[in-house]
Amino acid sequence: MQNKSIISPEIEEVLKLPNKDEEIRKLFLDLHPREIFTLCEDLKPQQNAQIVIALKSPLGIEFFQQFKTKRQRGIFRHFSKEWMADILEDMAPDERTDFIKTLSKEQTGQVLPLIAQAERNDIKKLLQYKEGTAGSILTTEYAFLSQDITASKALNQLRKQAFDRETIYYVYVIDNERKLLGFISLKDILISNGNKLIKDIMHLNIINAHIDDDKEQVAKKLADYDLLAIPIVDTENRLIGIVTVDDVVDIIEQEHTEDIYKHGAAGDYVDYMGSPPRLIAKHRIIWLLVLVAMGFVSGMVMEKYAYQLQAVVALTFFIPLLCGSGGNAGTQSSTVVIRGLATGEIQIRDVLKIFLKELSIGGIVGLAMGILAAFRALVLNKDPLLAITVGSAMIATVIVATTLGAVLPLLFKKMKLDPALMSGPFIASIVDIVSLLVYFRIAVLVFA
Amino acid sequence: MQNKSIISPEIEEVLKLPNKDEEIRKLFLDLHPREIFTLCEDLKPQQNAQIVIALKSPLGIEFFQQFKTKRQRGIFRHFSKEWMADILEDMAPDERTDFIKTLSKEQTGQVLPLIAQAERNDIKKLLQYKEGTAGSILTTEYAFLSQDITASKALNQLRKQAFDRETIYYVYVIDNERKLLGFISLKDILISNGNKLIKDIMHLNIINAHIDDDKEQVAKKLADYDLLAIPIVDTENRLIGIVTVDDVVDIIEQEHTEDIYKHGAAGDYVDYMGSPPRLIAKHRIIWLLVLVAMGFVSGMVMEKYAYQLQAVVALTFFIPLLCGSGGNAGTQSSTVVIRGLATGEIQIRDVLKIFLKELSIGGIVGLAMGILAAFRALVLNKDPLLAITVGSAMIATVIVATTLGAVLPLLFKKMKLDPALMSGPFIASIVDIVSLLVYFRIAVLVFA
């Protein structure tokens, strides 16, 4: 990466030159498209459009593909109709499908007729697959062979295919109806005797996925099997396309975002910077109102103990501490169990073992927290009865919280519900109710 | 995947046969090592050891490598000394380093002398790289070429290297001192004129990483640049090894676990099923005690308003609801901002835009929540003054919570602290204090 020294203002200067296309090519031609992106991502959409045009296909297209679809749309607006068509023709089919989905019907209607018939059919076919399925992320630019040719002839065919395929390292063997017969890697072909027939050296046991499979499952399969690509077939075992390893990380990162939103009860993911507050609020409000409704129960518990609260007002001072501590301890154990279920580290059948483990953990941390809270009541409030009440309520609350936090996600999983629904905020709301019940029961006993 | 019909009891029967090695090979020889793993993962360690031996190298080793290091250790115990040495010699260097780290000094001392000198040196070298660096995850089995040979000669050399290299699709051009001169893909070689010299067709702009680089950064770079492998060099630009794309997903998943633990204030990751409660409690307790100390402040706020609490005891009933709702709203916005900072969707410079956005969001959701809470006070407590107090305190609390939840992680990032520290539980504790202050101020005004 020798060109790290190029900076945005320099590029902006170059873009003002009369021979800018030539100068831009000189600057960027040896760079990886990602490096060009790193240097240019902060430029204006119009300037990036100029760079795409200067770099031409394929480097310009590869550079364009580095942007997220929303920013691609901004750059795309600055192209002529002809350039729009050129770019759509040359983009990788999977990237292209993603991008076209973000265009308005009007824009698509203007540009599609300018594109070659074959590409147009490909676009239409890929657009019809449901969002979130393998079909929606596949590329049709895969390398393929027929089974009756020799290894050395296969090598020659792959040389020719190399220019417009996503990868030639994984090759799929198909018949005249595109039915998937076998799989072979370029390495297999290279190390084989050149006279051997493909059908005699190909693998018959093919790890594949179906067009309707969930894209996260497909990504996980590709990763588990350490593949560079996975073939996607329809119900008749016809090869529709492939999903390549470079898409896996994006899919996993997207899933990661969804997971984290669930942990924070933040609703479904929406484009944060690009959406109006009203839309974001709509996504968040459902969970908040559910949690408010759960909070009403806490109030009802307290109403039952109004007499005690009036008699010993200092009892009130510890309510936020107790509820908060229980919520935090429960959030910890639910976090660990929800994540463990997702990675496979924890199984439903471990429920008893987990319950006992959290019982011990809750005992240990609860004891420390209880002593600390009792100490505070003793020193600041100078009330031994209060200290006993607060300390023992804390221990009990924390033990209940850690075990509930661990067991509820397991229960949800068992009931085929999403265990992540039992994340921090929900556990905290349930624990609030339990904490108050425990606290007042103990208070009634101690102050009786 | 034709062999899906094989089930564990069947395999256990086969393992009892006198000619079990032969039968196991018949059953599994056409399968991907991951498929064999899926079929056998629930068997006993001893049975899996028998399967490794029956399948021999390389398939047996590949099967063995599918297990997590902890379970590998369990299987390993059932091998003879000679088999232990064989397995260590044949494992992929990166997998092997991970595995050896989990063995006791005694075990390593017994097995290492049985391993060939070259492999032993390799093991020792890889073991010395610091945990968490590129050095700790690299493999030394890369394909390489010298720059002065022709493309067709290079192809022949790669044919020979193919058998024991992690990949031959990415090839590194090095000099006599192993200094990295260039990079070339097998595709580049294949489509080149066979008489051309490697130095004339190789890429000089090499995307690489340093042995001391953070492994997560290396994984991210590999993914951003859509590479199949990335070369790892030392300070003298000598090629030490490569990190391949199949390791990227594991590293990202591990990072994901760490992120989620931070969101739940659950401390550092520890092997949950394998660690005693005492150890897990130790990891969780620090944050809990910090949060208890923060909870003390809530108590102090309430003590200041003891008179109001005694006069209008119904004020108490809404404390858990208010604190909880503020915590939940703040958790939502902090979740979104922390994740946005991690993916790059949100930048520190957007702070004002985010503040204004969360102000609006807080206003919208706060209004809905405030109306709901006031309605409850009106209907169940039949107290209009209380309804006004609770409703307006809810609105104010939620607005403060959403903006604090969004701004505090940005502030932490700005101060070069980990923004994830400002996750749910911490925001909730801070918001508790603010909620109470707001609530009582309003109560004093309304009930004056």
Of A55-64, A107-116, A211-220, B131-140, give the lowest mean pLDDT range: A107-116
Nearest to B337 by CA among B421, B280, B234, B448: B421
Within an 8 Å CB–CB cutoff, is residue B112 touching chain A?
Answer: no
Q: How far is B223 from chain A (nearest CA, A)?
A: 7
Name the residue in chain B with its Cα closest to that of A426: B328
Of A127-141, A381-395, B273-287, give the lowest mean pLDDT range: B273-287
How many A-B residue pairs are in contact by the CB < 8 A criterion?
350
Range B2-128: architecture per CATH: Alpha Horseshoe (1.25)
What does pLDDT average to over chain B? Answer: 89
Name the residue in chain A with its Cα closest to that of B325: A292
Q: Verify whether the Cβ–Cβ distance B360 to A155 is below 8 Å.
A: no
> Residue B130: left (phi > 0), alpha (psi -120 to 50), or beta?
beta
> Residue A243: left (phi > 0), alpha (psi -120 to 50), or beta?
beta
Within an 8 Å CB–CB cutoff, is residue A327 touching chain B?
Answer: yes
Within an 8 Å CB–CB cutoff, is residue B118 touching chain A?
Answer: no
For residue B424, the chain A residues in CB contact (below 8 A) are 263-264, 331, 424-425
Sheet of strand A239-244, all strands in order from the earlier edge strand to the far edge: A209-210, A229-233, A239-244
pLDDT of amino acid A5:
57
Q: Verify whether the Cβ–Cβ distance B191 to A350 is below 8 Å.
A: no
- In one-letter notation, the amino acid at residue A394 is M
The boundaries of every CATH 1.25.60.10 domain in chain B are 2-128
Name the residue in chain A with its Cα closest to that of B394: A292
Q: Which of residues 12-51 of A touch B (CB under 8 A)?
A: 30-32, 34-35
What is the rounded CA–CA span in Å between residue B163 and residue B383?
82
What is the rounded CA–CA span in Å between residue A50 and residue A46?
6
Mean pLDDT of B295-314: 83
Q: Verify whether the Cβ–Cβ distance B296 to A436 is below 8 Å.
A: no
- Does the interface ipTM go beyond 0.90? no
Model confidence, pTM: 0.82
What is the rounded CA–CA span in Å between residue A61 and residue A79?
13
Tally DSSP H helices, then E strands, for chain B: 22, 6
Q: Verify whether the Cβ–Cβ distance B190 to A162 is below 8 Å.
A: yes
What is the rounded CA–CA span in Å between residue A222 and residue B32?
12
Within an 8 Å CB–CB cutoff, is residue B328 touching chain A?
Answer: yes
CATH (residue range B142-246): 3.10.580.10
Q: Verify whether the Cβ–Cβ distance A328 to B291 is below 8 Å.
A: yes
What is the rounded CA–CA span in Å between residue B201 and residue A288?
60
Within an 8 Å CB–CB cutoff, is residue B344 touching chain A?
Answer: no
Query: Which CA distances in Å does B72 have to B35, B61, B241, B339?
Result: 17, 11, 24, 34
Angle between helix A424-446 and helix A384-414 axes, rounded to 10 deg: 140
The boundaries of every CATH 3.10.580.10 domain in chain A are 142-247
Quickly name the fold that domain A142-247 has.
CBS-domain (3.10.580)
pLDDT of residue A400 exceeding 90: yes
Query: Which CA distances in Å does B433 have to A297, B263, B410?
Result: 22, 20, 21
Q: Verify whether the Cβ–Cβ distance B323 to A320 is below 8 Å.
A: yes
A6 band by pLDDT with thresholds 50, 70 and 90: low
Ranked by mean pLDDT, the top range of A121-125, A244-248, A378-382 is: A244-248
Matching CATH number, B277-446, of 3.90.550.10, 3.30.70.2190, 1.10.357.20, 3.60.60.10: 1.10.357.20
Within an 8 Å CB–CB cutoff, is residue B106 touching chain A?
Answer: no
Q: Between residues A142 and A379, which one has the greater pLDDT?
A: A142
The boundaries of every CATH 1.10.357.20 domain in chain B are 277-446
Q: Verify whether the Cβ–Cβ distance B428 to A225 is below 8 Å.
A: no
Q: What are phi and psi of B171, to 5 degrees?
A: -125, 140
Within an 8 Å CB–CB cutoff, is residue B59 touching chain A?
Answer: no
Q: Which of residues 346-365 of A touch B (CB under 8 A)?
A: 346, 350, 353, 357-358, 360-361, 364-365
Query: Which CA distances in Å does A188 have to A62, A169, A184, B415?
Result: 29, 10, 6, 53
